[in-house]
Amino acid sequence: MQDFHCRCGNPLFYENTHCLACQSEVGWCPVCSNITAIEPLDNGGYRCTHPGCDTPLMKCHNYAVENVCNRMVVMECGHADALCDCCRYNEVIPDLNVAGHRERWAALEAAKRRLFHTLDLLKLPHGTKDDDISVPLSFSFMADALPDQGLWRSTAKQEKVYTGHASGHITINVKEADDVERERLRVDMNESHRTLIGHFRHEIGHYYWDVLVKDRDEEACRAVFGNHHRPSYAEALERYYQQGAPADWPNRFISAYATMHPWEDFAETFAYYLDMVAVLDTALHMGITHVEYDGSLESMLIAFHQVGMAVNELNRDMGLLDLAPGVLAPAVRDKLAYLHQIVQAANPLERNSVTG
């Protein structure tokens, strides 16, 4: 992620809605792809103040009304779409009558916007049911339905919401946006990392298995990740939660959970690939890596290792978790190579650069 600047010269960041120096309202302009100050127009709407842009804009409904977004939509002849290019993918939002849900929804939207930023860097296809795409993408952010007045009570007519993916629809339980609850689950599940953006990157990996692999490249995928038909997903799930991951999993997998089933291995490895792309995009814009980086997987791995080791040490100085593993097993590199290949094949015009 690059940094941005207000018209007053103050730095702006991807989540900002106001400039802290001059108090200007700011938003993401979809035309010039910048977080920029927006200036009210006399006849309603706003103008992008980024030099050379001047596009007439409106705030996304979820920015103007719900205060969980910061993206703008293009205004033509005084009219604009109600929702931005990220919020339009929402199918279900949290019950805002429950205390704390608006704040958790805002955190979910912030993570989703970063997800889409990385997908767009890679030029990966995605769209809603209104677009010309084979597998429409959508999101539901929901809470468990409990019989008491507990923190996660919801009007949903089901007992428990499971974070997951099914046929292009991604569901995330809003409790994942609660730092304390998520850390408790991370410890209970014995996970090295459990982050909100990590959930989005994992579940979108399942989505891209449907988009890029299913009925297209399954044989090649099986050769790398294993046969996703044997055992069945249900059998694999039961075995994993009864027996856990094999002791030697770091020799073959990116995470313990990746050992559960080839689909989970694909999604976990895809999430790691997106981690690399996002971190290197920021590192390159911020000038914190000096590795010659040409968009090849090998240069990605070298650059990510350099950045990861530096950030690991900084995190250890502050008592925080490591950003990246010190060593990737050869089998994991082979899986990343397969993913790099199918990502490039999905967008042949961008084969020379994974970060645009």
Q: What is the pLDDT of residues 300-333, one digit of tens each?
A: 888 888 888 888 888 888 887 777 776 789 999 9
Q: For residue 38, how far is the Cα from the chain centroid? A: 26
Q: Rounded to an integer, what distance in angstroms lies between the CA atom of residue 75 and that of residue 242?
A: 55
pTM score, whole prediction: 0.88
Regarding predicted confidence, which is higher, 84 or 324?
Answer: 84
pLDDT at 51: 92
pLDDT at 145: 65
pLDDT at 227 > cutoff 90: yes
User: What is the DSSP-derived secondary structure letter of residue 278?
Assistant: H
Helices (H), the chain: 61-64, 101-121, 179-188, 196-208, 218-225, 233-243, 262-286, 297-317, 330-346
Q: What is the pLDDT of residues 8-25, one digit of tens each?
A: 999 999 999 999 999 999
First CA to last CA distance, the chain: 12
Q: SS3 string of 34-74?
A: EEEEEEECCCCCEEECCCCCCCEEEECHHHHCCCCCCEEEE
Instruction: Tell which residue, 153, 208, 207, 163, has the closest CA to residue 185.
Output: 163
Name the 3-class secondary structure at 265: helix
pLDDT at 91 > cutoff 50: yes
Cβ atoms of 128 and 137 within 8 Å: the answer is: yes
Q: Quick count: other Cβ atoms within 10 Å of Cβ 59? A: 21
Q: Rounded to an integer, what distance in angstroms lies between the CA atom of residue 272 and that of residue 264?
A: 12
Q: Rounded to an integer, what distance in angstroms lies between the CA atom of residue 64 and that of residue 115?
A: 22
What band does 144 get if pLDDT is binned at 50, 70 and 90?
confident
Work out the average pLDDT over 169-179.
87
